[in-house]
Amino acid sequence: MSDKEIDGKLDQAKGKVKEGYGKVTGDKSAEAEGKADQAEGKVKEAFGEAKRKVKNALDSDKK
């Protein structure tokens, strides 16, 4: 797992916590920020996964 994938998963987790906090407290702003953080995390994770797959494919071609 690449650093970007880990960062993405962490952002998703933080976003879920923030969204939950927003729901519990009725803070719509925090809830929306949490959802945005989760979306950003998913993008980072997908980018990291794609980057890792390309690197692995290039590395396997060298053999």
Q: Which domain holds residue 32?
A: 3-61
Cβ atoms 49, 2 nearer than 8 A: yes
Arithmetic mean of pLDDT, 38-50: 96
Whole-model pTM?
0.83
d(CA 18, CA 50): 27
Number of structural domains in the chain: 1
For the chain, helix (H) and strand (E) counts, in that order, are 2, 0
- Model pLDDT for residues 1-25, shown as the tens digit of each residue: 888 999 999 999 999 999 999 999 9
